[in-house]
Structure 1
Amino acid sequence: MGDFEGRTILVTGAAGGIGGATVRHLARRGADVIAAGRTEEQVAEICAETGARPVGFDLGSEDEIRAAIEGRELWGVVNCAGFGGEIATPQDTDISVFDRVMTVNARGALLVTKYATREMIRVGKGGAIVNVSSQASLVALTGHISYGSSKAALDNITRVSALELGEHGIRVNSVNPTVVMTPMSAWYWGRPEIEGPFLEQMPLHRWATEDDIAGPIVFLLSDEAAMITGVSLPIDGGYSAR
């Protein structure tokens, strides 16, 4: 399938599991993918595998984001980069960690959107943005005061961006995944006392895979979703439907 032929799509967090799977899906469907990481070296492997083009920038630096994006012929964006922060209660949270989580997950995604949409409007062919949010913005999860707050902010960025950019033919949506059981997440979610009760409450009773998330991301980017904008799509095995 080549339904993204001629369309350049920037994917942040491309060295990660969901980001890498998204790059693979888009490359298979003919997209010209720009794979973004903190450095070009970080995304070298996924670029070698898929033919994506590398770019590096720090999501905390507006100057680096501007320099990396300005002048590119962009059609789409996947804001997939994220930082998990800590597991903490409101009374115990480390505000410096909270600030870092908000900087990457909300502020960084907004800055990428700010500069990417300027180029998308300049190109004048419409386009689509998908923000990778979390089930933690839809339901309260113990210990997720920082992460959940950052993703709730990202969902609002999605809705307001959809409202503002519709006149330019640019759609903006979020996906809200449950846990993808990677080594990074296993330290917490893999604990028997956490995993068992959580999965018992989920109708599908399993963790998501990276492809479970990448597929809906690509759908929301595609013309098959041409009338969908401003939504936050749970990919959580039914957990938030409880």
Structure 2
Amino acid sequence: MEINFKGKKALVTGAGKGIGRSVAKKLVELGADTVALSRTQSDLDSLKQEVPGITTVQCDLSDWDQTREIVGNIDNIDLLVNNAGVAALDKFLDVKKQDIDWCFDINYKAVFNVAQVVAKSMVARKSGGSIVNVSSTASLQGLEDHAVYCCTKAAVDKLTKVMALELGQYKIRVNCINPTVVMTPMGKRVWSDPARADPMIARIPFGRFVEVDEVVDSIMFLLSDKASVIHGVLLPVEGGLLTS
């Protein structure tokens, strides 16, 4: 199945590291005029060295007004991947207000903010488009130490459903991808302890966590015309974890 994004312009948030970086690189490979957005300029600089044809934009997504200005100045976006995310892990009884604020600012409010700006432009241009929000299986199950993270991702899932309901009339497809633990540098760091990882892996019929390319390929499909009538879907990428 060939996917080609020639003639399309894409925006990827959280593109400096991990899944977002790989998504941005794959979009360029498939022909999209790609804008990579990240808070960390050094990550963007190294990405630009690897992929000279990519456009990089520095932005702190926790700043609502700055984000709206920066994203609003990126013209003619056809494809949006809301990937940026953070995790503050702690026992429910020990979670601090600043952890809740930080996670919701990035994991939920920034998704809402960026998508609203981009969707308004798509509507005004009558161009249609495709939006993929990156959530997690953590939205669909309870995980120890993940009280805040689980809630932010559940909010993204529900936002995806409402966006799909309201934006479908404008030919804007909105979907969500829900991977389990992905072997990004952050994933490896958080889940490197066998005491934490082994019980989770034991619940996955495939017996392993997810590789970055497996998530990227799923996102490319949802963005593409190959998924032309797939809309409002929460797509688990988890090796069967949710069957247990």
TM-score range, shorter chain: over 0.9
- Letter of the 2:114 counterpart: V
Partner of 1:154: 156
The alignment status of 1:107 with 2:127, answered yes or no, reads no
Q: CA deviation at 1:49?
A: 2.1
In 1: Cα distance, 2:192 partner to 2:3 partner: 38
| Partner of residue 123 from structure 2, selected from 121, 124, 131 | 121
Checking the alignment, whether the CA contact within 8 Å between 2:17 and 2:43 is kept in structure 1 is no
Percent of paired sites with the same residue: 38
Q: 2:64 is matched with which residue?
A: 62
Change (3 A) 1:183 1:25: closer
Q: Distance in 2 between matches of 1:28 and 1:187?
A: 28
Displacement, 1:114? 1.0
Residue 188 of structure 2 is aligned to residue 206 of structure 1? no
TM-score (norm 2): 0.94
Q: Aligned pair count? A: 241
> Relative to structure 2, which stretch is displaced further, 55-64 or 163-172?
55-64
Whole-angstrom distance in 2 between the partners of 1:167 and 1:214: 27
Contact between 2:8 and 2:33, CA under 8 Å: does it hold in 1? yes
Q: Deviations over 1:95-140 (max 9, x none)?
A: 2101110110000110001111111122221010000100100111
2:13 pairs with 1:9: no
- Given residue 196 of structure 2, which amino acid in structure 1 is its aligned partner? I
- Determine the structure 1 residue equivalent to 2:145: 143
Partners of 1:214 and 1:204 lie apart in 2 by 19
Q: Is the 8 A contact 2:19 2:184 kept in 1?
A: no
Unaligned 5+ segments in structure 1 are none
* Cα distance in 1 between the residues matched to 2:103 and 2:161: 20
Q: Determine the C-alpha separation between the residues in 2 that align with 1:173 and 1:165.
A: 11
Quote the residue 2:54 is aligned against.
Answer: 52
Contact 1:2/1:31 (8 A) holds in 2: no
Determine the C-alpha separation between the residues in 2 that align with 1:148 and 1:195.
Answer: 17
Q: Which residue of 1 aligns with 2:167?
A: 165
Q: Does 1:85 align with 2:74?
A: no
Q: What is the aligned counterpart of 2:76 among 68, 73, 76?
A: 73
Unaligned residue ranges in structure 2 (runs of 5+):
none
- Deviations 1:44-80 (Å, cap 9, x if unpaired)? 2223323210111111112211211224111111001
Secondary structure in structure 1 of the residue aligned to 2:169: helix
Cα 1:171–1:215 shift into 2, 3 Å: same
CA RMSD of aligned residues (A): 1.4
C-alpha contact 1:33 1:53 (8 A) present in aligned 2 = yes
- Aligned letter for 1:219? F
The one-character-per-residue Cα deviations of 1:163-215 (angstroms, maximum 9, x if unpaired) are 11101100111101111133423343111111112111101111111111110
Q: Say if 1:39 and 1:55, in contact at 8 Å, map to a contact too.
A: no
